[in-house]
Structure 1
Amino acid sequence: MTVLVLADDGDSGAAAVASAVAARRGGSAVTVVSPRRLAVASRWVHTVAPDGTAATEIRLAGGGCVPCSPAAVLNRIDGVAPVRFARAGARDRDYAAMELHALFVSWLAGLPCPVVNPVNGNGSAASAALPYWLLAARRAGLPVVHIGRTVGTRAGHRAAPPAARTPAGSVLVAGRHTAGALARRFGDGCAEVARATGCPLLEFRFVREAGAVRLSAVDPRPGLHDPADVAVVAGYLVEVAS
């Protein structure tokens, strides 16, 4: 069992999860790779057979390989920057960026294991706008904040002043597991959003607005600063990788 963690060097949450997985299953059970190391890999071969089966070999500069068949992937990056083309013209850099992103997406899509959270040709869930998440939450029966309201005046229309909001708590979803101060109250709805959007790892932040508790934000890349959250995510990765 190998859990592959794709994260920036400064991602302390990802590092904490990797350490927690290693504590449970041993140091060889987890591999952490940054987008920078992927960008300067000495060898990257990716093939897709006619039946759709993919095979990938990634050799890192300075030694080491990315596991070709990980049991699970924790993905905390949007893609790989074309750093080798830093001195190329703008057109060549843009072309290289598109090709490299297509390679990255195809690689993750071809892995026969859970990818938490996936990336597609349009980007990752981290780039989705707030209305996307609020719509998914509303469909799951969660109360959401009001956005984009306007009021009419004699001079036309203007944005209505937002109601005062104060933090009310959060819910962390990792697959079928939920944690956080509001998990008992909203955990089922939050888990439904995770299933509907194909993002097993999400953090839902709630506020108190106009006397009611409502969802105000959804984060596909939670900071994972709370040891309890780290334990939940590590446990989920070990579970799906087993």
Structure 2
Amino acid sequence: MTASVVLVVADAADLGARAAARVAARARPEVDVRWVPGYAWDRTRWTHRVTSTGRASTRLTFPAGFGEPVDDDDLALVWFRTATSVPSALRGASAADRDYAAAETQALAVSWLAALGDRVVNAVTGDGPTGPAWSGARWRAEASTAGLRVTDGVAATSARLVPGWSGSAWDARRPHDTTPEVVRRVLVAGRRAVGASGVAEARGCCALAEAARCRILSVGFDAAGGVVDAQPLAPVISPDEIALAGTFLAEVA
């Protein structure tokens, strides 16, 4: 069977992802490019099986209005852009039960996405379904390895750990962070990028995305051109970003 479904799971307010899905649908009318908002995802029914050899298989049955059920073999690509939450049927449960359900739902989503391999836009980790949950320091270290400049900001769990810092005894115990603000973002989708200051920066951002196994990644820069952070749950806002993400989905499907 030929995989023919591109699944875009995103929050209802994620209009950029929805617009990118429309771009992909127009470019590939023979493909079922399906946008599933978070509120519908919470009501989706799962059949998830794991064999004794560790092979997982899943069937998703969506609420009315969001298409026919989908098996793993139907999927050409999944762009997962929402934090998993408590299934709607358990909203009235106790706080402890809701927390447990949220953890189990996330584990289920991660298991499903991991079994899909390279059909997932951003490779999952045990920390969540949208991509690696690296700290800002880890992203900056990876960015430096990829050949990008990084910000000169300093972050520490306690201010007293920072050489040359001075202040009150109270402030000495508090976290210290002089990381500059992000003033510009570069969006990577596949092997292309928009928003870069030049060819070298675009190549560095693409190398960072490859190292993180994120085919769609947003890299944030400070005013001096240093990397501050990166976001696998990439903001897709401008027309250029929407066009790039949509073209990527169409090409990979």
Q: Same fold (TM over 0.5)?
A: yes
Offset of residue 6 of structure 1: 0.5
**Taking structure 2 as the reference length, what is the TM-score of the superposition?**
0.80
Of 174, 177, 187, the residue aligned with 2:202 is: 187
| Cross-structure match for 2:57 | 55
| Cross-structure match for 2:186 | 171
Offset of residue 27 of structure 1: 7.3
| Cross-structure match for 1:88 | 93
Distance across 1 between alignment mates of 2:180 and 2:103: 43
| Cross-structure match for 1:138 | 144
Structure 2 residues without counterparts, runs of 5 or longer = 156-161
Deviations 1:76-107 (A, max 9, x none): 11223233222222222222222211111111
Distance across 2 between alignment mates of 1:33 and 1:94: 23
| Cross-structure match for 2:159 | none
Q: Aligned partner of 1:189: which letter?
A: G
**Taking structure 1 as the reference length, what is the TM-score of the superposition?**
0.84
Distance across 2 between alignment mates of 1:93 and 1:152: 43
Equivalenced residues, count: 236
Distance across 2 between alignment mates of 1:98 and 1:6: 18
Offset of residue 152 of structure 1: 4.1
Deviations 1:182-201 (A, max 9, x none): 24131121111111111111
- Could you say if the C-alpha distance between residues 141 and 175 of structure 1 is closer, same or farther in structure 2, counting changes exceeding 3 Å? same
Distance across 2 between alignment mates of 1:14 and 1:141: 29
Q: Over the residues paired in the alignment, what is the CA RMSD in angstroms? A: 2.8
Distance across 2 between alignment mates of 1:12 and 1:121: 27
Identity %, equivalent residues: 33
The answer to which of 155-164 and 20-29 deviates more is 155-164
DSSP-derived class of the 1:73 partner: strand
Q: Aligned partner of 1:214: which letter?
A: G
Structure 1 residues without counterparts, runs of 5 or longer = none
Distance across 1 between alignment mates of 2:181 and 2:34: 41
